[in-house]
Chain A
Amino acid sequence: MPARLEIRTFLHAFDRVFLVRLLFWALLSCVAAAQPAPPAPQARFVVVLDAAHGGDDAGGRLANNQLEKSFTLALSVRLRSLLGARGIQVVTTRESDVGVEPEKRAEIANHAQAQACLSLHASENGLGVYLFASSLSPALHPSDKDLSLGTPVQPTRFAAWKTAQTAWVTRSLALEGVLHSALQHAGMSVTLGRTSLPVVDSMSCPAVAVEIAPEMGPDKKVAAGLDDLDYQARVAEALAAALVEWRSEAHQP
């Protein structure tokens, strides 16, 4: 019988220890619940700026013998400064007068996993600012819901390089809309369109090609040329304001 007594004593002792531990864990949980939750880390927001052309590829010839490659690089540098001052991380495809292949540009953008990609262009043809989204057919984005089932659409593992933009066309059109509003708010003439640019079509991010032409005045004549520094500054400011707006939209739940 003493052996049976020893077992009972042991079980009583085990129960006590178990109860004390349980109370301790419950107390800790209550304290943890009472404390305020630590702030969620700020979501990453990256913008890719692609200054078109460069190196041997001069692009179009603008007024006063300015080359498109120089204009786009200057705009990219200016925009990068403006966005950096607003706390936006910027990745550029080129920082100097070097030639970068379209595939490499798209590769840089895709590695950056950016929330917005702008391909910057300039032309003496036309008036105002032209915004182009890819002319690829929009495919369902992973964030879209299958209407029949109400469940998120499963993303495909692989995307064809030349048509990677298909999954992002809907978001690109939304970005185009935000850019449109900001530029119009800045008093500029904006034309929206769709096009097939190899660089944009290979990007897996919301991507818009921005082509800047001389500013159109109220009389539908040229009010400011591409060499007008004030016009360049206003375009850059408007694009930066649009991207700040896009960031705030992206951070909304």
Chain B
Amino acid sequence: MIPRHQKLLFGILLLASLVMGVTLWQLRERAHKRLIAGQDSAPTRAPEVAPAEQATLLVANDSDSSMRTQIHSLPLPADPGSRARAVLGKLLDLYAAPDAAHPVPGGGSSVLQVFLLPVPESAASAAASVKPKSGDSSSAEFRANTTGAAPREQPQTGPQLAVVNLTGSFAASHPSGIEAETLTVLSICGTLHANQPRITQVRFLVDGQTRATLAGHADLTRTYLAGDAVPAEGTQP
């Protein structure tokens, strides 16, 4: 025979357990909602419809290893970095098309970001004397600039370094070969310079990291001089 006070104590404990369970569930739901609210990726500003402008693309052609200039009309944002990304997106969309002369899968979404940084005067003069500029000074500067809360104020004139951040899937699916990879790299550099002549140097990242080569051949650790990638009409790189 169970004494009455023990039955009462058991009932109270059971009730307390149920109340605590409900409270914990509610707290969990609240925390979950708070977490989702913190990661909200919805745009804070309504998207603006940019007016269509003419963009110059240097489109590679595998059949004769050439790069030809093509003019396309597409909406371009006012921000130079977004503008560069939009132009490169169009270029890679052309390469991803079924009848592309330089087929590369991936398309416009393969360009994650394009960061524009002022080229230090010392670096500009060094690049003028020796084309490739080894080392990670530019990527270090890029990291410092992106991790900091306030971006450095950029001068309105002077040469710029474009840091093109590509997706890992783009690099992984890129056709392997010196010719194919060189054409891709040079057409990206040439297209950036053709649309924004202030971009004189280009560096590449893949998923935000430096990578030795694009698909086993073309060097992605060096700084490319964008102006050198712009050839005469139909010439080989």
Contact = CB atoms under 8 A, between A and B. Distances in A.
B200 to A, nearest CB: 15
Contact of A126 (B65, B134, B215): B65
A43 interface: no
A124 B213 CA distance: 18
A129 B130 CA distance: 29
Interface string A55-92: 00101110000001000000000000000000000000
Interface in B102-128: none
B139 to A, nearest CB: 15
Interface in B177-195: 177-180, 182
The DSSP consensus for interface residues of chain A is mixed
A136 B134 CA distance: 12
Contact of A201 (B132, B212, B215): B132
A193 B176 contact: no
Contacts of A163: 130, 132, 134
B178 A59 contact: no
Question: SS class of chain B's interface: helix, strand, loop or mixed?
Answer: loop
B221 interface: yes
A164 B182 CA distance: 20
B130 A137 contact: yes
Given A136-B131, A162-B222, A123 B179 contact: yes
A126 B237 contact: no
A55 B130 CA distance: 34
A162 B218 contact: no
Contacts, number: 94
B236 interface: yes
A125 interface: yes
Interface residues of B, number: 27
Nearest to A135: B131
A169 B221 CA distance: 20
A54 B63 CA distance: 28
Contacts of A136: 130-132
Contacts of B224: 196
Contact of B175 (A60, A121, A132, A220): A60
A26 interface: no
B217 interface: yes
A195 interface: yes
A192 B66 CA distance: 11
Interface string B130-146: 11101000000000000
B53 interface: no
Contacts of B62: 125-126
B207 interface: no
B77 interface: no
A201 B219 contact: yes
A34 interface: no
Interface in B23-66: 62-63, 65
Nearest to A53: B216
A191 B224 CA distance: 22
Given A136-B131, A191-B65, A196-B132, A126 B217 contact: no
Interface in A3-31: none
A192 B130 CA distance: 22
A193 B130 contact: no
Nearest to A161: B134
Most buried by A among B130, B179, B212, B224: B179
Given A126-B65, A191-B65, A198 B212 contact: yes
B58 to A, nearest CB: 15
Given A59-B216, A198-B219, A166 B130 contact: yes
Interface in A134-187: 135-137, 160, 162-163, 166
Contacts of B217: 121, 195, 197
13 contacts: A60-B216, A102-B212, A125-B175, A126-B179, A135-B131, A163-B132, A192-B236, A195-B182, A195-B217, A196-B132, A196-B222, A201-B132, A211-B177
Given A137-B131, A160-B134, A163-B132, 14 more contacts: A123-B175, A123-B177, A123-B178, A123-B180, A125-B177, A126-B62, A126-B65, A127-B63, A162-B132, A162-B221, A195-B218, A196-B218, A197-B217, A198-B212
Interface of A: 53, 57, 59-61, 68, 102, 121, 123-127, 130, 132, 135-137, 160, 162-163, 166, 191-198, 201, 209, 211, 213, 220
Closest 8 CB pairs of A and B: A123-B177, A60-B176, A162-B134, A196-B219, A195-B182, A137-B131, A125-B180, A125-B177
